[in-house]
């Protein structure tokens, strides 16, 4: 299995004309975060750009899926206690990448993690569960306004409780 994974990585990276400066293990870790973040429309390049840009700027990754991995369950919205959990996988409390990959990856997420960021301005995104769509932003203030509005819409028409333990892929994944 390891040989197959190495062969797959070698093939994908050899087909890329330009690679970012991360090491192979780091590419796989980023790809796993991207894979877990993308539920329905699989916006891998944009999602990878957000995390690659945060890494380049030495900002915390602050990925909810890494917290969910550390917790062992998913929620529609994490609370303060969740994002404070001590874990080498919690990218709200550790700097840089988590300790390792958090899931298996598709070729598309790995390709997105291998390439340099396609848009250096992207730094923020959220998943709107009611619209089943991801939204990306360069501006934090606009991101925050839109994310709060999305959360408020969710509260008004909740498909699940805010603090329920759920399976996001089943509820919000490809339909």
Per-residue model confidence as pLDDT tens digits over 89-132: 999 999 999 999 999 999 999 999 998 777 888 899 988 888 88
Per-residue model confidence as pLDDT tens digits over 125-154: 988 888 888 999 999 999 999 999 999 999
84 CB-side CA count, 13 A: 3
Give the three-class secondary structure for 127. Answer: strand
The strand pairing partners of 132, in sequence order, are: none
Average per-residue pLDDT for the chain: 90
Give the three-class secondary structure for 126. Answer: strand
55: tokens are 């890494």
Q: Are 124 and 99 in contact (CB under 8 A)?
A: no
What is the structure's pLDDT at 126? 86
**Boundaries of every domain in the chain:** 2-172
């Amino acid at each position: 299995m390891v040989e197959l994974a190495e062969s797959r990585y070698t093939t994908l990276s050899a087909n890329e004309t330009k690679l970012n400066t991360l090491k192979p293990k780091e590419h796989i870790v980023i790809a796993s975060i991207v894979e877990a973040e993308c539920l329905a429309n699989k916006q891998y390049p944009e999602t990878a750009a957000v995390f690659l840009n945060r890494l380049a700027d030495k900002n915390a990754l602050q990925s909810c899926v890494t917290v969910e991995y550390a917790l062992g369950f998913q929620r529609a919205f994490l609370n303060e206690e969740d994002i404070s959990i001590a874990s080498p996988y919690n990218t709200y409390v550790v700097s840089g990448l988590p300790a390792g990959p958090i899931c298996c990856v598709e070729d598309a997420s790995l390709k997105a993690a291998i390439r340099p960021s396609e848009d250096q301005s992207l730094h923020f995104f959220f998943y709107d569960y009611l619209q089943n769509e991801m939204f990306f932003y360069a501006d934090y203030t606009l991101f925050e306004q839109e994310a709060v509005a999305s959360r408020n819409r969710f509260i008004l028409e909740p498909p699940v409780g805010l603090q329920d333990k759920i399976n996001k892929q089943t509820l919000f994944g490809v339909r």
